Structure 1
């Protein structure tokens, strides 16, 4: 297989993946794993295994090159699950029209996964002195349990660098905020609404909490260790049993986007401080309050000053023929877990992020081709 063939096969691979309706959480995520295994069998000299099976979200781990743990190592990463194709008329067509690959996942991120697969396959046919890994998850759009579990398993890779082929329009993203969801539960006492004084209204407590939290939580974030933009968003409220019953229960869920030095636990502690302040307010009902971290996904903050990252970026820039822009990423990605396990990582891949999850999702074919070439050159620069 020549480098030119890698480019053409990358688009074919992308079409193969898009044709599998691998919505996160459905049985088709197993089908898309099988599709990748078939591609690897026919196009690479590599070994592969399924990791994180106990999570219900299988992760494909493939390897080629040296087995020496001291050898230079690199990992190509991505996810091959997608969000539901709401509003799309033919989401699994994988049609190419006007130079663009159409379909759900073409941007986020089967185009990028295909580029990484093609680069991996081409590199596997070379005489690599280094070690190359490919890791593809199937629940990035939902629980993101798979890649974490895979990296916790014995013998999991700890490469010198991970390149994650999320859609970045062929630029580099080397950091993003963490994301935590914290639910606050208020427990009061029910009563007939004609005698509200006999109850303890949990919804009233939640309402007073929301008013105070909206002001105080951003203030507390500014006082903390995180440097850079941090946000809070009160995204879910529930409570009550019936229109004529004083509500005994209510809950509020808050989304925190935090910087790398922080965590979901720190956000939870801030919520409890807000509750302590509210206890001094005579209007705050005597409710029981508890908190639960329902999700916590770590931030990515990778310095690109280390020699391996510099080498990879130089290879990518040589392939593209120009200097590559490096900026933070607005959303979250599995690079957060790479960072948590001590693996330096950055995002580089084809497609425009603004089209992800939309009915108009598509990716320029030339992006996929260029990404495959650039990723391949980065692999060879470190592992050849």
Structure 2
């Protein structure tokens, strides 16, 4: 099948995906649309919950395996939309709709690319494609749940909007819940241990704190206090104030090391990480996938945003059509030509390594 035909079919699939709500953990109907693609192209597939996956026709256990992955769940549309988020419309070359950019364009481009290579013989790598669920919510039934089900993978391309440039590293994430304690009291009485006032110095500490190691690809670890809550009534000083701290981890640290540093140094009364599983990820510049991308004119960079790369233990490359700055925005869109170009670039890149 020609790349042009595959591109047109991929755009049609994306329109259908946009018009089918698929919030995290509720992707059953979009999973059916993806099943229909594989059925129409006579590609055997399997479905595990809302994850749809397939392997290339001539899968060979003696060869290394390359994963192609993107997700078909979306966030909720925000209130600033002026267009119907579930109506796929094309205006001035832009395909509008919820999930068009994050990550529908990537998903359909990878599905088309997998379809192009599906029946090729004598590939250097096996191919596995997973159209995964629950990426936006980091849910337990997403790509992480598939790693013990699909064949062992050696390297991965994760489809997220990168303007088809090569994100060779991605920051991990650790979210902390912290408490600053004090003495509860009536607001009318003196209190030299007011938890809210105690929080001032704690917030300043977080604002000024710097992790020592800087990554060449990802820069500094980014620490941000994102939530604060304390007190329930105007005349009562609370016993404690709760904070939430978002830490974006570069590839110089493990998540466990980040936890140890903040537990040992932060001035909070208590601080606890919610999870350690969303790790930073990277792929060596020398890897054949990266070198293939560079050879066809793509640039490399480090990505500050989180994706399903965080659950992979193998080298992984983030690459896809669309622009990350459009993700989760009102009136989300992707250029139609970005999808066509994405498929062409995926195929050019894989032709160099397969």
* TM-score bracket, shorter-length normalisation: 0.7 to 0.9
How far 1:144 moved relative to its partner?
Answer: 4.6
In structure 2, do the counterparts of structure 1 residues 172 and 44 end up closer, same or farther at CA, with 3 Å as the change threshold?
farther
- Whether contact under 8 Å (2:288, 2:353) holds in the other structure is no
Distance 1:225-1:110 versus aligned 2 partners, 3 A rule: closer
Displacement after TM superposition at 1:306 (Å):
2.2
Q: Secondary structure at the match of 2:151?
A: coil
Alignment match, 1:142 = 137
Partner of 2:319: 348
How has the CA–CA distance of structure 1 residues 310 and 211 changed in structure 2, closer, same or farther, with 3 Å as cutoff?
A: closer
Quote the Cα distance in structure 1 between the aligned partners of 2:109 and 2:215.
35
How far did residue 260 of structure 1 move? 1.2
Counterpart of 1:34 in structure 2 is 32
- Pairing 1:79-94 to 2, within 5 Å after superposition: 79-86=71-78, 87-88=80-81, 89-94=83-88
- Aligned mate of 2:253, from 249, 262, 267: 262
Match of 1:235 in 2: 226
Decide whether the 8 Å contact of 2:35 with 2:45 is kept in 1: no
Q: What is the distance in 1 between the residues matched to 2:5 and 2:64?
A: 26
- Of 338, 342, 346, the residue aligned with 1:367 is 338
Residue of structure 2 in register with 1:283 after alignment: none
1:77 to 2:32 alignment: no
Q: Tell me, in whole angstroms, the C-alpha distance in 2 between the residues paired with 1:195 and 1:272.
A: 33
Where does residue 303 of structure 1 map in the other structure? 284
SS of the counterpart of 1:349? coil
Match of 2:198 in 1: 205
How far apart are residue 195 of structure 1 and its match?
3.9
SS at match of 1:120: helix
Which residue number in structure 2 is paired with residue 214 of structure 1? 207
User: Is residue 64 of structure 1 aligned with residue 56 of structure 2?
Assistant: yes
How far apart in 2 are the matches of 1:272 and 1:209? 13
Corresponding residue of 1:16:
16
- Residue of structure 2 equivalent to 1:293: 273
- 1:234: how far off? 1.2
Q: 1:174·1:301 contact (CA, 8 Å) conserved in 2?
A: yes
* Long gaps (5+) in structure 2: none
Give TM-score scaled by structure 1 length: 0.82
The structure that is helix-richer by fraction is 1
Residue 274 of structure 2 aligns to a residue whose secondary structure is strand
For normalisation by structure 2, the TM-score amounts to 0.88
Matched residue, 2:46: 48
- Distance in 2, Cα, partners of 1:188 & 1:2: 68
Work out the CA distance in 2 between the residues paired with 1:196 and 1:266: 41
Q: Which residue of 2 aligns with 1:179?
A: 173
Query: Aligned partners of 2:340, 2:203: CA distance in 1, in Å?
Result: 49
Alpha-carbon shift at residue 158 of structure 1 (Å): 3.3
Distance 1:259 1:182 in 2: 16
Shift of the alpha carbon at 1:36? Answer: 0.8
When structure 1 is superposed on structure 2, of 41-50 and 112-121 the one drifting more is 41-50
Q: Which moved more, 1:179-188 or 1:35-44?
A: 179-188
Q: Is the 8 A contact 1:47 1:64 kept in 2?
A: no
Do the aligned residues in 2 keep the contact of 1:112 with 1:167 (CA within 8 Å)? yes
Deviations 1:269-302 (A, max 9, x none): 3333344xx5xxxxxxxxx922221244211221
Partner SS, residue 237 of structure 2: coil
Q: Give the 3 Å change call, closer, same or farther, for CA 157–311 of structure 1 in structure 2.
A: farther
Structure 1 residue 201 displacement after superposition:
3.5
* RMSD (Å) for aligned C-alpha atoms: 2.5
1:358 aligns with 329
Is the Cα contact below 8 Å between 1:313 and 1:378 reproduced in 2? no
Q: How many residues align?
A: 347
